[in-house]
């Protein structure tokens, strides 16, 4: 690796991100199913986005807020460079064997002629390749040992067999560490161990961001922190920056080193959480890792893993996403997520299309649909053309200026906002320019990518097992057993209201009470006694409040399941006992049902419950994008 070529060099710490033990095969499917990269995005930086204002509008700058200052005080690892809030990412992902790793890389403080975002004088922090073994930043990376007990989504009243995994975490100061969310998912016990020490210390999970795959840990033991030097969060690297990946690869306990360069920086899909955030592609030949990017007196934690489909290609989670995660936690005392605008957009490359929409310039994206659960429904309409976001012009391909000479997907700007934040949207409606304000919140998924609280909800009525459809359940059951029609709803339908779920009959516990229905599985239940079912809690309420002689369940294609109500409820106890099930419903369904969705039940129809399809072309055609 040539230092002169890149005017900088990076080193990387790799550790066995989440290497599972041999008895965790049944759980690995949940983490390994998707091969899309998990990546993270950037915090607000005036140097990251070249904000070209709309004509007639003053140029806006991104100043530090009181919240950011509080974060700086809480997490001293975040850079105080006045140009931007530096960021740290750390993350690991799963490969084909169910293992993953964390990495970090460090750059020297050699002066760059073309990079305005880096500090110049960093001779005190230079680490030569020969002294890599003694570099202090290696000691800031610790090994994580986690014991997991994941839910059994097919049998939601029980959990899967316990398994263990190892991962990596990074010290960021104030008694806290960063690791990957999936490394501590469904955790029952977490321990960490410092490099060169045999003692393991108990750690606590403070916050977990599944969509960005980041988790915040704390260790109370003072002994653990003796002599510790937390890592600091730095800037995004530049293209062709050299990287050296250092860490603990698969099959070994000692540190390993490999090299590569930064080859691409773009918004990309994250596998673990369904979000699209900023990501960095590198060509280092490494196992799944987390990359730590140290720049001068700063460092940028970045999680990385290698694609299964392309050799020697890896994706790194930029530090900007970690910075967003930390500030979100500091503001709210918990992780609230990355917000979205809640619209389906179409590119406006075609001149005739722009002329028809009365767009005078080569810019803007067309609003195709507005999600019913988004605040944008009160401000945006189908047919609007979005031409600016917070005074930053949006091009006809959905791109915005990024740093000095680059462009990046419009979604990048949205990812810089926080839950509840307000965005000023410049639109052209009917040929007239106007500005509207939209409150940004996380997307409401009809079929969630992860289960809040860990354990899925369920209801058993005379052996009929009902549960909400979720991505973990689809992964566990396999797509073939779900069926194409239900799978299409899961992939291409939007939630009509907050709290809506697709409730399915997952299986039937065979008994004389349900004769003729015992072969049913993974079928969506639509109505009970003529009432449309909103979610699993609503179904439980309908069953409990029913006074009719029969319980009539209606499924797709007018398929009926009819049970004599009193006989069915009386048989439930013996059925549960025969199958060794303690309760007929999950604990969350014991709470009183509160109807906070719709007051006018008479206005409801089938299109308001899990039947708002989005065509395949809207997900696969390159001219369309979600924001």
Could you tell me the two tokens for 156? 């939601």
| pLDDT bracket for residue 138 (50, 70, 90) | confident
When pLDDT is cut at 50, 70 and 90, the band that residue 522 belongs to is very high
Nearest to 205, CA basis, from 196, 221, 222, 218: 218
Cα–chain center distance at 599: 33
Beta strands in 46-175 (DSSP E): 105-107, 141-148, 163-173
Burial 538-573 (b: 16+ CB within 10 A, else e): bbbbbbeebeeeebbbbbeeeeebebebeebbebbe
Q: What's the CA gap between 594 and 47, in Å, rounded?
A: 48
Q: Percent of the chain, pLDDT > 90?
A: 46
- Distance, CA of 506 to CA of 372 (rounded, Å): 28
Given a cut of 80, whether residue 443 has pLDDT beyond it is yes
Query: What distance in Å separates the CA atoms of residue 325 and residue 344, rounded to the nearest whole number?
Result: 25
Model pLDDT for residues 366-404, shown as the tens digit of each residue: 999 999 999 999 999 999 999 999 999 999 999 999 988
* Residues 536 and 589 sit within 8 Å (Cβ to Cβ): yes
The pLDDT score that the predictor gives to residue 30 is 25
CB-CB contact of 33 with 308 (8 Å): no
Burial of 112 (0-12, 13-18, 19+ CB in 10 A): middle
**Under DSSP, is residue 556 helix (H, G, I), strand (E, B) or coil?**
helix
- Reference 171, options 308, 295, 13; nearest CA is 13
The values of phi and psi at residue 365, to 5°, are -130, 145
DSSP code, position 474: H
The DSSP output letter for 33 is S
Lowest mean pLDDT segment, chosen from 23-32, 52-61, 264-273, 418-427: 23-32
Q: Which residues of 41-67 are buried (b: 16+ CB within 10 A; e: fewer)?
A: bbbbbeebbbbeebeeeeeeebeeeee
| 463 touches 224 (CB < 8 A) | no
Over residues 99-123, the mean pLDDT reads 31
Share of the chain above pLDDT 70, in %: 66
Per-residue pLDDT band for 299 (boundaries 50, 70, 90) equals very low
Residue-level pLDDT at 124: 33
Report the candidate in 479, 460, 414 with the shortest Cα–Cα distance to residue 441.
414
Closest to 153 in 3D by CA, of 490, 472, 530:
472
Tokens of 18: 């989440």
Q: Kindly give, in sequence order, each residue whose CB lies less than 8 Å from that of residue 601, ignoring residues fewer than 6 positions away.
A: 531
Residue range 244-264, pLDDT digits in tens: 665 555 556 666 667 788 888
Distance linking the first and last C-alpha atoms of the chain: 39
Pull the structure tokens for residue 101.
Answer: 């790793």
- Section 276-285 average pLDDT: 80
| Both tokens assigned to 116 | 């305005």
Reading phi first (left if > 0) and then psi (alpha if -120 to 50, else beta), residue 227 is in left
The DSSP string of 268-298 is: EE-TTTS-EEEEEEE----SSEEEEEEETTE
Paired sense of beta strands 105-107 and 289-295, if any: parallel
The pLDDT of residue 117 is above 70: no
In this predicted model, what pLDDT tens digit does every residue of 555-582 receive, in sequence order?
Answer: 988 999 999 999 999 999 999 999 999 9
Q: What is the mean pLDDT of the chain?
A: 75
CB 24 within 8 A of CB 165: yes
pLDDT digits (tens, 9 = 90+) for 141-174: 888 889 999 999 999 999 999 999 888 888 898 9
Residues 6 or more apart whose CB falls under 8 angstroms from that of 620 comprise none
The answer to whether 562 touches 528, Cβ cutoff 8 Å, is no
CA 396 to CA 498: how far, in whole Å?
32
Q: Give the residue carrying structure tokens 């696969």.
A: 620
What is the C-alpha R_g of the chain?
26
Q: Report how far residue 371's alpha carbon sits from residue 343's, in angstroms, rounded to the nearest whole number.
A: 6
Closest to 306 measured CA to CA, from 98, 154, 459, 94:
94
């Amino acid at each position: 690796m040539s230092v002169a070529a890149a005017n900088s060099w990076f080193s990387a710490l790799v550790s066995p991100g989440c290497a599972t033990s041999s008895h965790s095969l049944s759980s690995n499917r949940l983490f390994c199913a998707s091969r899309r990269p998990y990546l993270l995005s950037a915090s607000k930086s005036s140097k990251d986005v070249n904000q070209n204002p709309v004509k007639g509008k003053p140029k806006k700058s991104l100043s530090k807020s009181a919240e950011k200052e509080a974060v700086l005080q809480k997490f001293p690892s975040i850079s105080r460079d006045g140009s931007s809030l530096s960021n740290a990412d750390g993350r690991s992902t799963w490969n084909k064997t169910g293992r993953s790793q964390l990495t970090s890389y460090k750059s020297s403080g050699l002066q760059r002629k073309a990079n305005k975002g880096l500090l110049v004088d960093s001779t005190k922090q230079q680490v030569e390749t020969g002294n890599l073994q003694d570099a202090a930043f290696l000691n800031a990376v610790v090994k994580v040992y986690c014991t997991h007990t994941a839910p059994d989504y097919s049998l939601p009243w029980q959990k899967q067999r316990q398994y263990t995994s190892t991962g990596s975490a990074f010290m960021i100061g104030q008694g806290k560490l960063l690791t990957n969310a999936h490394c501590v998912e469904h955790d029952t016990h977490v321990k960490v161990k410092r490099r060169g020490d045999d003692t393991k210390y108990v750690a606590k999970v403070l916050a977990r961001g599944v969509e960005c795959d980041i988790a915040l840990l704390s260790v109370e033991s003072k002994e653990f922190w003796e002599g510790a030097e937390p890592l600091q969060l730095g800037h995004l690297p530049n293209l062709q920056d050299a990287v050296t990946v250092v860490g603990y690869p698969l099959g070994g306990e000692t540190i390993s080193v490999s090299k590569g360069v930064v080859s691409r920086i773009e918004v990309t899909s994250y596998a673990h959480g369904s979000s699209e955030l900023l990501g960095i592609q590198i060509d280092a030949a490494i196992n799944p890792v987390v990359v730590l990017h140290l720049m001068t007196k700063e460092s940028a934690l970045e999680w990385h893993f290698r694609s299964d489909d392309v050799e020697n290609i890896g994706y790194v989670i930029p530090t900007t996403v970690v910075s967003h995660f930390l500030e979100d936690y500091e503001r709210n005392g918990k992780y609230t997520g990355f917000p979205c605008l809640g619209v389906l957009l179409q590119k406006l490359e075609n001149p005739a299309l722009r002329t028809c929409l009365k767009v005078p310039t080569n810019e803007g994206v067309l609003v195709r649909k507005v999600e019913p659960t988004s605040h944008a429904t009160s401000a945006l309409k189908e047919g609007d053309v979005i031409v600016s976001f917070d005074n930053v012009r949006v091009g006809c391909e959905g791109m915005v200026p990024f740093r000095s000479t680059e462009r990046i997907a419009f979604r990048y700007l949205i990812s810089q906002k926080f839950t509840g934040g307000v965005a000023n949207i410049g639109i052209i409606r009917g040929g007239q320019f106007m500005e509207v304000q939209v409150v940004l919140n996380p997307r409401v998924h009809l079929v969630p990518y992860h289960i809040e609280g860990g354990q899925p909800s369920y209801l058993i009525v005379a052996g009929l097992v009902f549960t909400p459809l979720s991505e973990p359940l689809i992964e566990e059951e396999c797509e073939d057993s779900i069926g194409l029609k239900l799978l299409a709803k899961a992939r291409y339908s939007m939630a009509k209201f907050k709290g809506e779920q697709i409730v399915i009959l997952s299986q039937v516990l065979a008994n004389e009470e349900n004769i003729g229905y015992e072969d049913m599985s993974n079928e969506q239940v639509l109505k009970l006694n003529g009432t449309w079912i909103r979610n699993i809690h609503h179904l439980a309420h309908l069953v409990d409040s029913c006074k009719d002689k029969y319980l009539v369940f209606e499924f797709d294609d007018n398929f009926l399941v009819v049970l004599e109500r009193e006989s069915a409820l009386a048989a439930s106890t013996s059925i549960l006992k025969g199958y060794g099930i303690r309760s007929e419903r999950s604990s969350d369904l014991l709470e009183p049902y509160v109807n906070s969705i719709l007051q006018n039940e008479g206005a409801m129809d089938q299109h308001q419950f899990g039947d708002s399809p989005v065509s395949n072309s809207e997900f696969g055609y390159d001219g369309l994008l979600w924001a």
